[in-house]
């Protein structure tokens, strides 16, 4: 049982905040992914657990034992670095076996375990090579081998796939996932790549500006974002955000907040949204319905760019008399070209409402029963 | 190793370990800083104090800034600076001029270039003391150099004993020893000019001279500045060659600054005067260093 | 420095045009290779002759060596001068021993302290930007400082500290003078090390200090070797400090013995050439063995 717990951890660099009030738990055997844009504090958070960075405040526990003031080598943690950090003056076998050598394991046992690990990673034939003779993917495997050979209680990875090309990335991603399942080692993985995060993680920890924005399963952070940042960060192309208000008191129609250049019907607007105050409406590109003739409750818009993408096409659309551009995904058979006029509607359950000031999500007071989305726990 | 079973974890060992890790930057750097402080900072401080005293048979007396006044007004200090400057000028001109010329020759199609480069290392690794002796032997009355110039002169040349010749007789060994340095550095620069750049310039219709000016020189400009700095600094501190060959003589005609200071301190026992001169030289050295550091982009 | 003033440009242009004309004339007769190879040969002879003259002198009799006109090649070679030097001046054993001790001791100390300090300065944060900004300036000044500036007060300091005439004193002084040099040579090597290498070593079970010895040092080995080579040569060849800080066979090194040879005796050239050869031989042999590294070091500007 290895359970990692961050208890109100804060790291300051002088006046700058590295990470603030981090309060998260990673359960035994769980694959947790720290996700966020660069500079969001995800690497700082990871390094605090490794002991490479000392938190300014707070405690980190592994299985209830406070390890905050412990030397990294006494934490039973292994890490794969973004730069991989293979020892250039050692061969493959020496690199992988090094943690055991430091631990004082005898040569024969070491060799045995190195062979076992390389077997698992499918790099048995590389044992006697020098590290500079390896390809990117092979170097990756050696770095992973060096991390798992000790059977650490926690396994950390800091953007390990960042330097690989797209195809290799997908391949290694699957491999890491498989390996983690087999070994059952509690894992924390840092990335800025949401696709990587979604496919790898049991649990996503989305961070921004040094703070945790949301913790949840990939489905939860996608379908039930806690705030405007998470909603905009997860999903590609990004969610569209429109500043709107109700058209009239109690109306289910919204209009552009300042100039009413467009209007939509949105079912089930949260009752918490007042009648005249502006709010942010978030709609993913694929949740617009595209019509080529006027239809009630839809907003008139003009197509400015079309990008065919196989089964679908991505339209860039501008509302009438309004500079704002939004992205819309439509089936490929909707025959529109640049300059065409279309009407956009919204399927009600898929529009999100956020507070203008704080970006916090404003939810339905009564949750609809027919939503397809699992609504899970939130922090 | 699991978190619970390791007895080394926690307790006194762990806290000692963490203390060492937290202070590692000081543990690594303080010993060297202490040595540098003891051998650079403290001596300069000590020199500041010594420079305020007069040393003679009666012991030492506090004289305030008298040493400074005496040195700056008497001609001897300026004379030795002038001699140093002359030595510097002739040595550096010949070393840099010859060194660059030889580098260009060696950069054209020359046989055994690698071997010649290795031979260029020979003077550079020999002690200046030994270099002085090599030349003293060549300067022997009726020796190798005398017989070499015999057709031009009547009788042996008083290389080291004629005040009008001695300084140049000191320049020669320095030129012999340090010209290869210039050659090696500039040659390395010339060989770093990529062929394709030369070829591109040729395609652009540039003649040999144009290519030299527009393509080759920019590649070696920085290196020429580098050797110039190295040699100016090097000739400013010349000591061993003078000490062995002339001891500053004849008639003080070769008394370069370090020789003058040596004599002041160890022949006359006047550490106060010598320290004063040391401080003045320090100022000059700092000024030159600072000037070079600002003017050039070369990294030292 | 390289200010493009009009007159200097004019002179340069004329000079280049002259060289160009000579080159073309030679080229038209197909003489360019002959001339360049000739100049190269002249350079080689000019460089090697003084060394040859001393080494060959050490193998000749006095009269043969000092014959007028000089005999460029001797037919009567002898090795008798070698034992004779040690018979007449048994102190040469001590000079040799002192030189070896001082060279090895000061090199070990300078490389150890210099390496540790460079690593510390380059890889850790210091107050007032000590490592990034002040270190290069410190190295620059101490490297360019004429040693005579410090050696005079150092004599007075050594006198009170009872370090005059001791090998320890020379070891410390040489180490101090070579530390900035070592720092300068190693800076680049340490700057190239990624931080994550040390962090990986720490997570693999090392302390940071252990990682420095086990992982970092092996990685910068080429730099350590280069720094050691130049420090050895500097220490072996040094005269100024040695001649001032030592006055008898307790600590005097070979350069001191050579520099004061003629004051102690009338110049016995047949013996002085032996002494000079003994002083040159180790560095020349050493230089030959590590010529690649030396060449690279010198072209970087590794000169004291």
Taking a C-beta distance cutoff of 8 angstroms, is the pair B140, B161 a contact?
no
Taking a C-beta distance cutoff of 8 angstroms, is the pair B132, B268 a contact?
no
> Using CA atoms, how far apart are residues A69 and A74, in angstroms rounded to an integer?
10
Confidence tier at A198 by pLDDT (50, 70, 90): very high
For residues A114 and A216, membership in a common domain is answered with yes
For residues A250 and A151, membership in a common domain is answered with no
B295: which 2 tokens? Answer: 């003017």
For A:75-94, CB contacts with B below 8 A are 75-76
**Considering the domain boundaries, does residue A371 fall inside one?**
no
Give percent above pLDDT 90 in chain A: 54
For residues A124 and A171, membership in a common domain is answered with yes
- More confident of the two residues B241 and B292: B241
Peptide bond into B250 cis (omega under 30): yes
| Pick from C102, C144, C146, C107: nearest CA to C242 | C102
Q: Report whether pLDDT(A372) > 80.
A: no
Residues of C in contact with A82 (CB under 8 A): 196
> Using CA atoms, how far apart are residues B161 and C99, in angstroms rounded to an integer?
32
For residues A210 and A65, membership in a common domain is answered with yes
Q: Report whether pLDDT(C263) > 70.
A: no
**Considering the domain boundaries, does residue C167 fall inside one?**
yes
What per-residue confidence (pLDDT) applies to B206? 72
**What is the tens place of the pLDDT at every residue in B86-144?**
999 999 999 999 999 999 999 887 888 899 999 999 999 999 999 999 999 999 888 89
Interface contact flag, B21 A71, Cβ < 8 Å: yes
**Considering the domain boundaries, does residue C1 fall inside one?**
no
For residues C224 and C169, membership in a common domain is answered with yes
Confidence tier at C2 by pLDDT (50, 70, 90): very low
**What is the tens place of the pLDDT at every residue in A216-242?**
999 999 999 999 999 999 988 899 998
> Using CA atoms, how far apart are residues C112 and C189, in angstroms rounded to an integer?
15
ipTM of the complex: 0.90
> Using CA atoms, how far apart are residues A197 and C214, in angstroms rounded to an integer?
36
Q: Report whether pLDDT(B6) > 50.
A: no
Interface contact flag, B2 A76, Cβ < 8 Å: yes
Give chain A's domain count: 2
**What is the tens place of the pLDDT at every residue in C133-162?**
677 777 777 777 889 999 999 999 999 999
Helix (H/G/I), strand (E/B), else coil: A252: coil
For residues A121 and A259, membership in a common domain is answered with no
Helix, strand, coil % over all residues of chain A, rounded to 5: 25, 35, 40
Give percent above pLDDT 70 in chain A: 95
Residues of B in contact with A62 (CB under 8 A): 3
**Considering the domain boundaries, does residue A368 fall inside one?**
no
For residues A227 and A299, membership in a common domain is answered with no
Confidence tier at C1 by pLDDT (50, 70, 90): very low
End-of-domain residue from the set C17, C51, C82? C82
How many C-alpha atoms does A144 have within 13 Å on its Cβ side? 28
In the block, residue with structure tokens 């200010």: C3
> Using CA atoms, how far apart are residues A171 and A290, in angstroms rounded to an integer?
36
Sign of CA dihedral C287, C292, C296, C299: positive
Least confident of A64-73, B191-200, C237-246: B191-200
End-of-domain residue from the set C57, C82, C107? C82
* DSSP, res B213: I
Mean of the per-residue pLDDT values of chain C: 88
- More confident of the two residues B294 and A139: A139
The residue of chain A nearest to residue C196, with distances taken between CA atoms, is A85
Run of H or E residues at C181: helix C167-192
- By Cβ distance, the residue of A67, A71, A153 closest to B2 is A153
Taking a C-beta distance cutoff of 8 angstroms, is the pair C157, B41 a contact?
no
For residues C295 and C187, membership in a common domain is answered with yes
Least confident of A90-104, C41-55, C93-107, C261-275: C261-275
**What is the tens place of the pLDDT at every residue in C88-118?**
989 999 999 999 999 999 999 999 999 999 9
Q: How many helices (H) and strands (E) does chain C have?
A: 17, 0
For residues A306 and A183, membership in a common domain is answered with no
Query: Touching check for A20 and chain C: CB below 8 Å?
Result: no
CA distance B27 to chain A (A): 18
Taking a C-beta distance cutoff of 8 angstroms, is the pair B223, B185 a contact?
yes
For residues A225 and A245, membership in a common domain is answered with no
Give Rg (Cα) of chain C. 25
For residues A221 and A269, membership in a common domain is answered with no
CATH code at A203? 3.40.50.300
> Using CA atoms, how far apart are residues C109 and A314, in angstroms rounded to an integer?
69
Summarize the confidence of residues B197-201 as an average pLDDT.
78
Domain that holds residue A262: 237-362
Query: Touching check for A54 and chain C: CB below 8 Å?
Result: no
For residues C54 and C99, membership in a common domain is answered with no
- By Cβ distance, the residue of C36, C136, C150 closest to B44 is C150
> Using CA atoms, how far apart are residues C276 and B132, in angstroms rounded to an integer?
10
CATH code at C286? 1.10.3720.10
CA distance C167 to chain B (A): 16
B269: which 2 tokens? Answer: 């026992």
> Using CA atoms, how far apart are residues B252 and B250, in angstroms rounded to an integer?
5
For residues A222 and A241, membership in a common domain is answered with no
In the block, residue with structure tokens 């590290």: A131
In the block, residue with structure tokens 């400090």: C241
Confidence tier at B226 by pLDDT (50, 70, 90): confident
Residues of C in contact with B112 (CB under 8 A): 40
Least confident of A34-48, A356-370, C180-194, C225-239: A356-370
**Considering the domain boundaries, does residue A223 fall inside one?**
yes
Domains of chain B: 11-50 (no CATH), 70-295 (1.10.3720.10)
CATH code at A266? 2.40.50.140
Query: Touching check for B233 and chain C: CB below 8 Å?
Result: yes
For residues C43 and C143, membership in a common domain is answered with no
Summarize the confidence of residues B19-36 as an average pLDDT.
91
**What is the tens place of the pLDDT at every residue in A281-322?**
899 998 888 888 888 878 888 899 999 888 889 999 988 666
Query: Touching check for B151 and chain C: CB below 8 Å?
Result: no
Taking a C-beta distance cutoff of 8 angstroms, is the pair B270, B56 a contact?
yes
Least confident of A12-21, A72-81, C16-25: C16-25
β-pairing, A203-208 vs A31-35, is: parallel
> Using CA atoms, how far apart are residues A326 and A316, in angstroms rounded to an integer?
6
**Considering the domain boundaries, does residue C168 fall inside one?**
yes
For residues C46 and C97, membership in a common domain is answered with no
The residue of chain C nearest to residue A86, with distances taken between CA atoms, is C197
Long-range CB contacts for residues B73-79, cutoff 8 Å, separation at least 24:
B76/B260, B77/B260, B77/B277, B77/B280, B79/B252, B79/B255
> Using CA atoms, how far apart are residues B170 and B157, in angstroms rounded to an integer?
14
End-of-domain residue from the set C64, C82, C100? C82
End-of-domain residue from the set A185, A200, A232? A232
Query: Touching check for A1 and chain B: CB below 8 Å?
Result: no
β-pairing, A57-62 vs A4-13, is: antiparallel
For residues C131 and C72, membership in a common domain is answered with no
β-pairing, A31-35 vs A186-191, is: parallel
Mean of the per-residue pLDDT values of chain B: 88
What per-residue confidence (pLDDT) applies to A195? 92
**What is the tens place of the pLDDT at every residue in A252-291?**
788 887 777 778 888 777 877 777 788 898 999 988 888 8
Interface contact flag, A67 B3, Cβ < 8 Å: yes
CA distance A95 to chain C (A): 10
User: Could you give phi then psi for residue A72, rounded to 5 degrees?
Assistant: -50, -40
Strand residue runs (E) in B190-278: none
**Considering the domain boundaries, does residue A367 fall inside one?**
no
Q: Report whether pLDDT(A379) > 60.
A: no
Q: Report whether pLDDT(C243) > 80.
A: yes
**Considering the domain boundaries, does residue A375 fall inside one?**
no
Angle at CA A92, nearest 5°, toward A88 and A95? 65
For residues C152 and C43, membership in a common domain is answered with no
The residue of chain C nearest to residue A89, with distances taken between CA atoms, is C219
Summarize the confidence of residues C3-16 as an average pLDDT.
67
Taking a C-beta distance cutoff of 8 angstroms, is the pair A119, A154 a contact?
no
For residues C272 and C139, membership in a common domain is answered with yes
Give chain C's domain count: 2
For residues C268 and C157, membership in a common domain is answered with yes
For residues C120 and C269, membership in a common domain is answered with yes
Confidence tier at A109 by pLDDT (50, 70, 90): very high
End-of-domain residue from the set A232, A257, A290? A232
For residues A215 and A257, membership in a common domain is answered with no
For residues A249 and A197, membership in a common domain is answered with no
Domain that holds residue C11: 6-82
B119: which 2 tokens? Answer: 């031979």
What per-residue confidence (pLDDT) applies to B180? 96
- Chains B and C: how many Cβ contacts under 8 Å? 298
> Using CA atoms, how far apart are residues A298 and A345, in angstroms rounded to an integer?
4
Query: Touching check for A98 and chain C: CB below 8 Å?
Result: yes
For residues C166 and C196, membership in a common domain is answered with yes
For residues C132 and C271, membership in a common domain is answered with yes
CA distance B147 to chain C (A): 6
What per-residue confidence (pLDDT) applies to A322? 66
**Considering the domain boundaries, does residue C77 fall inside one?**
yes
Taking a C-beta distance cutoff of 8 angstroms, is the pair A153, A77 a contact?
yes
Q: Report whether pLDDT(C8) > 70.
A: no
């Amino acid at each position: 049982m290895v359970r990692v717990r961050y208890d109100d951890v804060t790291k300051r660099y002088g006046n700058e905040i590295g990470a603030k009030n981090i309060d998260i738990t990673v359960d035994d055997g769980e694959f947790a992914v720290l996700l966020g844009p660069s500079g969001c504090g995800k690497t700082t958070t990871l390094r605090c657990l490794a002991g490479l960075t000392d938190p300014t405040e707070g405690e980190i526990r592994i299985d209830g034992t406070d390890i905050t003031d412990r030397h990294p080598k006494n934490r039973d943690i292994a890490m794969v670095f973004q730069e991989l950090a293979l020892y250039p003056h050692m061969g493959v076998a020496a690199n992988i076996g090094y943690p055991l050598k430091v631990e004082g394991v005898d040569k024969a046992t070491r060799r045995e375990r190195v062979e076992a690990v390389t077997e698992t990673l499918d790099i048995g034939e590389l044992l006697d090579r020098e590290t500079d003779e390896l390809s990117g993917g092979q170097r990756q495997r050696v770095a992973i081998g060096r991390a798992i050979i000790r059977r650490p209680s926690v396994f950390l990875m800091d953007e390990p796939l960042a330097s690989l090309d797209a195809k290799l990335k997908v391949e290694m991603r699957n491999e890491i996932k498989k390996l983690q399942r087999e070994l059952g080692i509690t894992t924390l993985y840092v990335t800025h790549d949401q696709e990587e995060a979604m496919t790898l993680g049991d649990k996503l920890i989305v961070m921004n500006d040094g703070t945790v924005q949301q913790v949840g399963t990939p489905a939860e952070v996608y379908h039930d974002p806690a705030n405007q940042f998470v909603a905009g960060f997860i999903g590609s192309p990004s969610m569209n955000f429109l500043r709107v208000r109700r058209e009239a008191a109690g109306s289910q129609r919204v209009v552009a907040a300042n100039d009413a250049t467009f209007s939509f019907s949105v079912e089930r607007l949260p009752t918490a949204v007042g009648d005249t105050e502006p709010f942010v409406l978030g709609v993913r590109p694929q949740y617009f319905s595209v019509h080529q003739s006027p239809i009630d409750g839809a907003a008139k818009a003009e197509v400015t760019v079309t990008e065919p993408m196989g089964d679908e096409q991505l339209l860039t659309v501008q509302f009438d008399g309004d500079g704002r551009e939004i992205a819309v995904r439509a089936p490929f058979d909707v025959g529109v070209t640049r300059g065409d006029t279309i009407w956009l509607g919204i399927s009600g359950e898929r529009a999100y409402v956020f507070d203008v000031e704080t970006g916090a999500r404003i939810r339905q007071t009564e949750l609809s029963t027919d939503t397809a989305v699992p609504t899970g726990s939130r922090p | 190793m699991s978190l619970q079973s390791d007895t080394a974890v926690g307790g006194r060992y762990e806290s000692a370990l963490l203390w060492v890790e937290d202070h590692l930057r000081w543990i690594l750097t303080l010993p060297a800083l202490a040595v540098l402080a003891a051998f650079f900072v403290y001596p300069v401080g000590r020199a500041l104090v010594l420079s305020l005293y007069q040393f003679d048979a009666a012991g030492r007396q506090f004289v305030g800034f008298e040493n400074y006044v005496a040195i700056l007004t008497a001609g001897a200090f300026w004379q030795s600076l002038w001699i140093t400057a002359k030595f510097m000028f002739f040595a550096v001109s010949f070393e840099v001029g010859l060194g660059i010329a030889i580098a260009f020759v060696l950069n054209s199609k020359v046989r055994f270039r690698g071997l010649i480069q290795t031979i260029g290392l020979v003077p550079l690794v020999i002690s200046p003391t030994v270099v002085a002796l090599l030349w003293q032997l060549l300067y022997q009355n009726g020796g190798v150099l005398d017989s070499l110039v015999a057709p031009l002169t009547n009788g042996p040349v008083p290389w080291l004993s004629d005040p009008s010749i001695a300084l140049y007789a000191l320049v020669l060994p320095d030129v012999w020893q340090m010209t290869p340095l210039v050659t090696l550095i500039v040659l390395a620069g010339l060989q770093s000019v990529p062929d394709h750049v030369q070829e591109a310039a040729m395609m652009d219709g540039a003649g040999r001279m144009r290519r030299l000016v527009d393509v080759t020189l920019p590649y070696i400009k920085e290196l020429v500045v580098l050797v110039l700095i190295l040699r100016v600094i090097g000739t400013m501190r010349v000591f061993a060659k003078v000490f062995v060959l002339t001891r500053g003589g004849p008639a003080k005609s070769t008394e370069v600054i370090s020789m003058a200071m040596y004599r002041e301190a160890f022949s006359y026992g006047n550490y106060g005067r010598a320290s004063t001169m040391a401080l003045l030289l320090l100022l000059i050295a700092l000024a030159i260093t600072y000037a070079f550091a600002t003017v050039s982009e070369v990294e030292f | 420095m390289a200010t493009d003033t009009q007159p200097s440009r004019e002179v340069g242009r004329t000079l280049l045009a002259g060289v160009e004309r000579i080159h073309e004339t030679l080229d038209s007769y197909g003489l360019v290779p002959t001339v360049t190879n000739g100049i190269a040969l002249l350079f080689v002879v000019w460089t090697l002759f003084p060394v040859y003259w001393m080494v060959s002198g050490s193998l000749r009799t006095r009269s043969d060596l000092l014959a007028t006109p000089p005999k460029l090649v001797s037919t009567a070679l002898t090795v008798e001068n070698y034992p004779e030097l040690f018979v007449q001046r048994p102190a040469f054993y001590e000079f040799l021993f002192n030189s070896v001790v001082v060279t090895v001791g000061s090199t070990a100390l300078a490389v150890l302290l210099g390496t540790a300090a460079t690593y510390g300065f380059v890889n850790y944060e210091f107050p007032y930007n000590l490592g990034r900004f002040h270190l290069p300036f410190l190295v620059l000044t101490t490297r360019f400082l004429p040693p005579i500036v410090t050696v005079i007060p150092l004599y007075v300091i050594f006198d009170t500290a009872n370090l005059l005439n001791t090998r320890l004193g020379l070891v410390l002084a040489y180490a101090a003078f070579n530390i900035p040099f070592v720092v300068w040579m190693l800076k680049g090597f340490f700057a190239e090390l990624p931080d994550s290498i040390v962090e990986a070593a720490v997570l693999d079970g090392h302390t940071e200090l252990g990682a420095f010895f086990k992982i970092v040092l092996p990685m910068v080995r080429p730099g350590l070797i280069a720094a050691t080579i130049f420090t050895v040569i500097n220490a072996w060849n040094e005269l100024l400090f040695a001649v001032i800080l030592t006055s008898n066979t307790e600590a005097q090194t070979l350069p001191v013995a050579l520099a004061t040879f003629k004051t102690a005796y009338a110049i016995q050239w047949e013996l002085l050439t032996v002494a000079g050869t003994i002083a040159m031989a180790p560095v020349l042999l050493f230089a030959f063995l590590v010529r690649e590294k030396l060449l690279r070091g010198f072209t970087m500007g590794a000169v004291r």
